[in-house]
């Protein structure tokens, strides 16, 4: 087992990983930018190293400085968390060159799954169902139009290196094709350094279902059932829950088996997530996230398995501590992402200083946070402040518990999504297990989220 691990991340996930490592008796090293010198993830670590300026390119995305900090502090492993360098195979290469273990899959899996074009081609060969489309890079809008006429509108143009809702443009008619192509190319190049794009059929209002998987270096791969992440804005998740409220037992079993088949296609060993779209009883592969997910806590709450610790053990060469029969789902868990955003203003980021931060304390409620009173929310980084998770025996009870937790969470100094979550979870659409797209795309409804409804007590 490792003696010291450097956490190559910030915010709530760095705090979460730090806690798991300490519980395992492993020393921790935090890295930070200049503006993050007093951040919570720095305060809770045993050691910390400043690796550069405020921009992520100068600090958290600088592989040389991250690995250099690990070498300088004597860390024998690096945990990348999610985002930033988590799915960058160049970090894996640099770790190997420095004799440091990367807590994640090998570089081959990262490269195969990092290219959405290559990933879809590989999944098709493995017999994993994929959304209709063409799995090659398109070079101009005329080629996109020809594909759209073949598979039918609406279509979506996607950046090959995209993810997290970035690099996606929908075209519902021929007149929108050129704008969709240019937009996807631009975002792909800007955010991922890869301008290549491909085309697939766009499914209107599908469920977004993802399956948690984990594999060890001995060929054992299991799934930990699914999460429903259908409540999104601009293809970015807002609320996640497990189990998915709309699946039958047969559908749940089939989707789990599909996820394992996808993982075996790349000889996967680590924690990962197979994401897909579910519509009319059919599951279609979207992508495989080769890292821990933001919403992993939902799965932990219903299975009782600490995914971060298991991921660390696998990276250290240990076999999985459970098999498929050892994974059972109990009750229902819901996660709300507490972002520093104003839903009433189309989810506009809200930087500022947090003057009051009070977390709810109740049975079945968990808060994974990366800030506290006095923390500065800057425009340099993702606006996610915390994840509020509620568990109960049933979905209805979990919803009621979440509403109470939202009402009990106090944040002042910056606008957050607390009121938005209260209104959405109090809606008939949520109670009916809908995707709630009609609410999130309704500007009038969103404008009403600038105030909390106090519906939880009622």
pLDDT of residue 455: 45
Is 60 exceeded by the pLDDT of residue 457?
no
pLDDT at residue 342 is higher than 50: yes
What SS3 class is residue 4?
A: strand
Please tell me the distance from the alpha carbon of residue 228 to that of residue 333, in angstroms, as a whole number.
Answer: 11
Whether 132-201 shares its CATH topology with 207-450 is answered no
Q: What's the length of the chain?
A: 458
Query: If DSSP codes are grouped into helix, strand and coil, which group holds residue 44?
Result: coil
437 tagged catalytic: no
Enumerate the H helices of 228-378 as residue ranges: 249-264, 296-303, 307-315
Per-residue model confidence as pLDDT tens digits over 185-210 = 988 887 777 888 889 888 888 999 99
- Distance (Å, whole) CA 426 – CA 441: 17
- Write down the catalytic residue from 65, 291, 395, 423: 291
* Residue pLDDT, tens place only, 411-439: 999 999 999 999 999 999 999 999 999 99
- Residue 345 has, within 13 A of its CA and on its CB side, a CA count of 8
On whether the CB atoms of residues 32 and 39 are closer than 8 A, the answer is: yes
The number of beta carbons lying within 10 Å of the beta carbon of residue 347 is: 19
Separation of alpha carbons 154 and 173, rounded Å? 7
Using CA atoms, how far residue 427 sits from 152, 209, 228, 439, in Å, is 34, 21, 18, 9
Domain segments of the chain: what residues? Answer: 4-103, 132-201, 207-450
- Residues 13-42: pLDDT tens digits? 999 999 999 999 999 999 999 999 999 999
Q: Per CATH, which fold does 132-201 belong to?
A: Dna Ligase; domain 1 (3.30.1490)
Pick the CATH number of 4-103 from 3.40.50.20, 3.40.50.720, 2.40.70.10, 1.10.3720.10: 3.40.50.20
CATH 1.10.630.10 fits 207-450, yes or no: no
Q: What global pTM score does this model have?
A: 0.90
What percent of the chain has a predicted confidence (pLDDT) above 70?
A: 97
């Amino acid at each position: 087992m490792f003696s010291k691990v450097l956490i190559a991340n910030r915010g709530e996930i760095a705090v979460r990983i730090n806690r798991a490592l300490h519980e395992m008796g492993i020393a921790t090293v935090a890295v930070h930018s200049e503006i993050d010198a007093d951040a919570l993830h720095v305060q809770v670590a045993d050691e910390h190293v400043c690796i550069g300026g405020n921009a992520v390119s100068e600090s958290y995305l600088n592989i040389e400085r991250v690995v250099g900090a690990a070498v300088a502090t004597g860390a024998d492993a690096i945990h990348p968390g999610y985002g930033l360098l988590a799915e960058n195979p160049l970090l894996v290469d640099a770790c190997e060159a420095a004799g440091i273990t990367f807590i994640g899959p090998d570089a081959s899996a990262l490269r195969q799954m990092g290219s959405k074009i290559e990933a879809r081609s590989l999944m098709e060969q493995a017999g994993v169902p994929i959304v209709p489309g063409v799995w090659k890079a398109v070079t101009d809008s005329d080629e996109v139009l020809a594909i759209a006429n073949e598979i039918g509108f609406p279509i979506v143009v996607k950046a090959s290196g995209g993810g997290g809702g970035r690099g996606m443009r929908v075209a519902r008619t021929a007149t929108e094709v050129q704008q969709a192509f240019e937009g996807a190319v631009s975002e792909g190049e800007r955010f991922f350094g890869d301008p290549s794009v491909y085309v697939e059929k766009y499914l209107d209002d599908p469920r977004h279902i993802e399956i948690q998987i984990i594999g060890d270096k001995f060929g054992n791969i299991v799934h930990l059932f699914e999460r429903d992440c259908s409540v999104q804005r601009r293809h970015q998740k807002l609320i996640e829950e497990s189990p998915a409220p709309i699946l039958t037992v047969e559908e749940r079993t089939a989707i789990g088996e599909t996820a394992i088949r996808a993982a075996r296609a790349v000889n996967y060993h680590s924690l990962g997530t197979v994401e897909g779209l579910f519509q009319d009883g059919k599951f279609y592969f979207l992508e495989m996230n080769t890292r821990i997910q933001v919403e992993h806590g939902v799965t932990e709450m219903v299975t009782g398995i600490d995914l971060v610790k298991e991921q660390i053990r696998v990276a250290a060469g240990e076999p999985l501590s459970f098999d498929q029969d050892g994974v059972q789902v109990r009750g229902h868990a819901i996660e709300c992402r507490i972002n520093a955003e104003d839903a009433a203003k189309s989810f506009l980021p809200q930087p500022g200083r947090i003057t009051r931060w009070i977390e709810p304390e109740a049975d079945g409620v968990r808060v994974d946070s990366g800030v506290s009173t006095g923390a500065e929310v800057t425009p340099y980084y993702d606006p996610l402040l915390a994840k509020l998770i509620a568990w109960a025996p049933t979905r209805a009870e979990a919803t009621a518990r979440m509403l109470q937790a939202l009402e009990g969470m106090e944040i002042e100094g910056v606008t957050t999504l607390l009121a938005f979550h209260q209104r959405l979870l109090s809606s008939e659409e949520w109670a009916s297990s809908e995707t709630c797209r009609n609410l999130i795309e309704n500007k009038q409804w969103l404008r009403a989220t600038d105030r909390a409804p106090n519906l939880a007590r009622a």
